[in-house]
Amino acid sequence: MSKLVIGTNSWTTVAEANTYMETRFGSWEFWTDETNKEAALITAYNKIVNSGFFADLPDTANVGMKAAQCEMALFLCMEGGDINRRAGLQAQGVVQAGIAKETYDPNARGKLAFPPEVLALLKDYSQEDNGAFGDDLTRDDTEDVA
């Protein structure tokens, strides 16, 4: 198991992330004592740093970078399983699935999902047409799925 090491695979400690999450509305449902917080933070860091979507990230993390890592870790805790399942479907060429008739943009295949909070926090480091996307999900509650 990897150990969280500041400056190597994380910008923030678990203690700092816990403090961030204490004031982050809605986080308590997903950032719990049962959460493998080190793994979530390391995975979030790796997704951000190795995505190729953000350039010239400073060697020393600033507050925004730490917050972005916390937001990405929370996003992975909340949506990670669904993201992986949908990516698997898209990799198979599926463009519509489920009883709710989710429709996937074929142009988004292979792109990494980043929550809007992360994109906003790292906007100063974002590369033009970087392949990252953040999208608001909408649902038509008037549509009958039966």
* Average pLDDT rounded to a whole number, residues 112-138: 72
Mean pLDDT, the chain, whole residue set: 80
Half-sphere exposure of 54 (CA within 13 A, CB side): 23
What proportion of the chain, given as a percentage, has pLDDT over 70?
A: 63
The band of 129, judged by pLDDT with boundaries at 50, 70 and 90, is low
Per the document, the length of the chain is 146
Q: At 135, is the pLDDT very low, low, confident or very high (cuts 50, 70, 90)?
A: very low
105 φ/ψ sector (left φ>0, alpha ψ -120 to 50, else beta): beta
Q: What is the CA radius of gyration of the chain?
A: 16
Has residue 136 got a pLDDT over 70? no
Q: Residues 6-30: pLDDT tens digits? A: 999 999 999 999 999 999 998 989 9
pLDDT for 110 equals: 54
| Model pLDDT, residue 79 | 82
User: For the ranges 43-47, 75-79, 126-130, 142-146, which has the lowest average pLDDT?
Assistant: 142-146
Mean pLDDT of 71-91: 73
Give the Å distances, CA to CA, from 59 to 11, 55, 119.
10, 12, 19
Separation of CA 145 from chain center: 29
C-beta of residue 55 within 8 angstroms of C-beta of residue 127: yes
